[in-house]
Structure 1
Amino acid sequence: MAHLSQLQKLKLAITVGALVVAAVHVIWPKLAIDAITLGLVVVALLPWLAPLVKSVELPGGLKVELQEVKDAAGKVRNAGLLEPSANPERIEHTFLQVAQRDPNLALAGFRIEIERRLVALCERNGISAKNRGLGYLLRALSEKNLLTPEQSSAIADLASLLDSATHGASVDPAAAQWALDIAPELLESLSRLISPTGPKTFVGAQQPRFAHEGDFWVQE
């Protein structure tokens, strides 16, 4: 083994160790070959297969499912953040152009555009947003009644799913499409909070500070 590199020795040690444990597990009469044994065999093989595989998705692995996105989108809609204006501004969002080719990249772009608008809303209302995360921005906007608690919670839930996609989670194609379908309306709605240009609909226990004449406010 003198000619083996440190990495190869480590791989060999992992393989031998896992196989020994698997053998002991099988030898005992009351122990059958089950998922545990199978898992140990997989562990034994993985170090040698590493150069051949890009990733391994284990049970319980990170994945964005359609129902999760539907639930998050429903919260966003119920919070009044998907109400179109009378004369919506037509914006060609660049992240939508890559949706078919790379949905994870498109969702990451959607996440960036959400945060960019929250930063602008903070700065417009005297809230320091430099080097602040999205969670801080939402709390600050909610504390100043610039977002209702329902709106803040809805955006946080959606952003969490978008973060998962940004960090490489497997995304159901239907889930990606569902999220991107609401992107133009949500971003337009956030832009109107920065520069109000028409009636808006809010849902919450307290009237938002930024509400204007002509807006709709639905009390819970």
Structure 2
Amino acid sequence: MLYKVFLSTLAMFLTSMHLFHPEFELDTIAIVLILLAIAPWITHLIKSVELPGGTKIDLKALKDIEVNMARAGLLEEAEHKSDMIFFSENAAYENPRIALACLFFEVEKTLKSVAEIHHIPAQHNNLDSLLGLLYDKKIISYEQKSALLQLIALLIRAFQDCKIDKNASNWALRIGPKIIKSMDKYRF
């Protein structure tokens, strides 16, 4: 809280000095100083700032998915790290794109395995269609289907040229085993 007051006070002081200078014009410097003064008070309203030309996978998006997965009952505690391929932890920790991409492959593999067990042809279906079929056969709930679709959409973005929050690796390594463990119950 103290830093907010200090930063706002400093920015407003500098803005005042700039404005009351005889040659004042409302220029870029004044606008930046005013924005700097109000920024600490509105940061909770801003999810992320992205310059034109790119998308971003940020921690808030990951946490939103985590909340939806938990609501859908898809985050059971994993007793051990399992044999998921993305637990080449060194590579996953060093590159969040690798961690998210490997989580995508694990989710895809698990969904196809669930479909196969329930006699749903998985080889010709994309994951969206596959989730629709699992829902139609009452194997998963609508809430689970929605949460998994949201997760898959985000994971597919990891394949694209977008910025990925550096904490995405930790998120994937923490949440991945829980998701797979939760989906394992549908294999029977």
| Residue 109 of structure 1: aligned partner | 102
Q: Is the 8 A contact 2:101 2:158 kept in 1?
A: yes
The amino acid of 2:110's aligned partner reads: R
> Which residue matches 2:184?
191
Secondary structure of 1:173's counterpart equals coil
CA deviations over 1:88-139 (Å, ceiling 9, x no partner): 4551433132212221012101001101111111111111111311101110
* Cα pair distance change 1:127/1:176, threshold 3 Å: same
Length-normalised TM-score, structure 1: 0.58
| Aligned residue among 52, 57, 73 for 1:59 | 52
Larger Rg: 1
Q: Distance in 2 between matches of 1:95 and 1:184?
A: 10
Structure showing greater relative contact order (alpha-carbon pairs closer than 8 Å, 6 or more residues apart): 2
Which stretch of structure 1 is more off in the superposition, 147-156 or 168-177?
Answer: 168-177
Matches within 5 A, 1:1-220: 58-59=51-52, 61-84=54-77, 88=79, 90-96=81-87, 97=89, 98-195=91-188
Percent of matched pairs sharing the same residue:
34
Secondary structure of 1:94's match?
coil
Unaligned ranges ≥5, structure 1? 1-33, 35-56, 196-220
Q: Distance in 1 between matches of 2:110 and 2:69?
A: 16
SS of 2:183's partner is: helix
Letter in 1 for 2:85: T
**Within 2, Cα distance between the matches of 1:58 and 1:84?**
38
Secondary structure class of the residue paired with 1:95: coil
- Distance 1:166-1:152 versus aligned 2 partners, 3 A rule: same
CA deviations 1:174-215 (Å, max 9, x no partner) are: 2342233110111111122214xxxxxxxxxxxxxxxxxxxx
Unaligned runs of 5+ residues in structure 2 are 1-27, 29-49
Contact (CA 8 Å) 2:116, 2:122: kept in 1 or not?
A: yes
**1:127, 1:140 within 8 Å by CA — same for their partners in 2?**
yes
C-alpha contact (below 8 Å) 2:96/2:168 kept by paired residues: no
Counterpart Cα distance in 2 of 1:111 and 1:78? 20
Q: Residues of 1 paired with 2:145 and 2:53: CA distance?
A: 28
Structure 2 counterpart of 1:193, one-letter code:
Y
Q: CA RMSD in A?
A: 2.0
Report if the CA contact (8 A) 1:67-1:175 is conserved.
no
Query: Is the Cα contact below 8 Å between 2:75 and 2:182 reproduced in 1?
Result: yes
Q: 1:84 to 1:160 in 2, by over 3 A?
A: same
Show structure 1 runs of 4+ deviating over 3 A: none
User: Normalization by structure 2: what TM-score?
Assistant: 0.67
Contact 1:82-1:182 within 8 A present in 2 as well: yes
CA–CA separation in structure 2 for the residues paired with 1:89 and 1:132: 31
Higher helix share goes to which structure?
2
